[in-house]
Structure 1
Amino acid sequence: MKNKRRSLYLHDSNSEPIRLQAYLAHCGVASRRASEKIILEGRVSVNGSVVTELGTKVTSNDKVLVDGKEISLEETKRYVLLYKPAGFVCSQSDEKGRRVALELLKDSYSERLYNVGRLDMFSSGLIIFTNDGDFAAKLSHPSAEIEKEYVVETSMPLPRSLAEDFKRGVRVEGVFYRAKDASEINSHKMRVVLIEGKNREIRRVFENSGAVIRSLTRVRIGSVSVGDLKPGEFRELTQFEIKELLNLCKN
């Protein structure tokens, strides 16, 4: 597999007490929000005792185990942009045996990476993987209002009013969906820009209008575009791109 990779090494030597969920995120276990769930499920122990309190603080001197395996702070921070092919799920593992996007990175990175946000199994396009919990938390929070741009191709001609309806707002089964921008590229293809990105938002709006989606591809996250990446390829974000993404966050 072709690997378009550029190295970026950022170091974190913080030994001050931090909240347990933040520590797990800094160790690359999962995002901070997902780490909270792991703690509440009783899967974390500190110095031999199971901890389920989210306010617990630890340092790098404490012995922290997740599911019985010791974890530690990772000095090298990774920020990887992957062009996820359709057919892969965005999770650490999948109980149904489906292919996991993270598998495309495992041969190139020893760090424990996790995805920032999601793309459904049948969608393709850009997704960021990192082991930096603060970066992931800031980008993935709804208040960040980071733009995500998609190209949607349909098997039949697009309903003529769909783009304008989506920009004004559409209610589907009691849920209100509105794109920041939407415009036709041609009779079978539309560009859609979302900020909030509710679960399966584009698919539900298109299905509600009778438009059958043939392909759905995320081509931009904030200031980072797909460029010349192809499905299955990845590269590390540059330091400039990381700063630009953080600067775009409104939270």
Structure 2
Amino acid sequence: MDNEKVRLQLYMARCGVASRRKCEEIISQGRVSVNGSVVIQPGTKVDDDDRVTMDGRLIKPTRKNIYIALHKPSKFLCSNEDPDGRSLAIDLISPVIKQRLFNVGRLDYLTSGLIFFTNDGDFAKKMTHPSSHVEKEYVVTTKKEIPEELMENFKKGIYVGGEFFKMKSYKLNGTNSVNIVLEEGKNRELRKVFQSQNINVKKVHRIRIGNVKLTGINSGHFRHLSEREIKSLLRDSSSKNGKYNNKGNRHNIK
């Protein structure tokens, strides 16, 4: 960091601990010390000369950023630990990549498909911030026929259980399958929308994030993102972020 003083949560993100938002939570939990003293204020300024520890373990800025595209199978959890002992998505990567990585956003336990892992907190924040509007494409397969009226209402924006959901676009693939593009996505959004109409979902599978497609990555396997893909993702998120910020309060909340 060239001995530049930065906020503690940013320092931790650059160390590959987690995203900045998650690092703020970790700090507030009293798990971080600076020069031997516990710090609970995320805004504390530190630099390379300071000794920063988390849970008693020294953390230092990561020298190399890593960007992984994983094909997550169903019944794998997007977390670094699980008290119930369920399989973790990170365990598909950690035997090969020894650096500490964290998932960028989440896929539900039963949802399969493309998800990013990284040690770059800034990248994670840009990919997941609502104002970035990074497209995420899913294939949803159902047991019952999918009414086009539901898809049209979802495209316009609908409320389910007090939550507002809105997709960007869709393409029906016959009667029981549809491709849906979201720009933000909330917890279990797709399942909630279909279940609101008593339509049971058989499978939710993410096939694309921004310009990156799942094609060529077998289930349970991963690859590194190319420099071109990373630059394109960051460029798209920055341009959309700027577009919406310049228009004030225009936040297309899903």
CA distance in structure 2 between the aligned counterparts of 1:93 and 1:124, rounded to whole angstroms: 19
Q: Could you tell me which residue of structure 2 aligns to residue 226 of structure 1? A: 214
Q: TM-score, normalised by structure 2?
A: 0.91
Aligned with 1:49 (options 33, 37, 58): 37
**1:151-230 maps to which residues of 2 (within 5 A)?**
151-230=139-218
| Mapping for residues 123-162 of structure 1, pairs under 5 Å | 123-162=111-150
Question: 1:162: how far off?
Answer: 2.1
TM-score, structure 1 as length reference: 0.92
Residue of structure 1 in register with 2:247 after alignment: none
Structure 1 stretch 133-142 or stretch 40-49: which is displaced more? 133-142
Equivalent residue in structure 1 for 2:46, among 58, 63, 66: 58
SS in structure 2 of the partner of residue 24 of structure 1: helix
Residue 160 of structure 1: how far off its partner (Å):
3.9
Give the direction of change, closer, same or farther, for the CA distance of 1:193–1:50 in structure 2 (3 Å limit): same
Preserved CA contact (<8 Å) 1:80 1:237: yes
Offset at residue 99 of structure 1 (A): 1.1
- Measured in 1, the distance between the counterparts of 2:170 and 2:148 equals 12
Q: Note the C-alpha offset of 1:238.
A: 0.3
Runs of 5+ unmatched residues, structure 2? 242-254
SS of 2:231's partner is helix
Give the fraction of aligned pairs with identical amino acids, expressed as a percent: 48
Contact 1:40–1:54, Cα closer than 8 Å, also in 2: yes
1:15 — aligned with what? Answer: 3
Figure out how many residues of one structure are paired with residues of the other and give that number: 239
The answer as to whether partners of 2:128 and 2:184 remain within 8 angstroms in 1 is no
1:116 aligns with 2:116: no
* Aligned Cα root-mean-square deviation (Å): 1.1
Structure 1 window deviating more from structure 2 (43-52 vs 96-105): it is: 96-105
Shift of 1:28: 1.0
Q: Which runs of 5+ in 1 are unaligned?
A: 1-12
Contact 1:152 / 1:217 at 8 angstroms: preserved in 2? yes
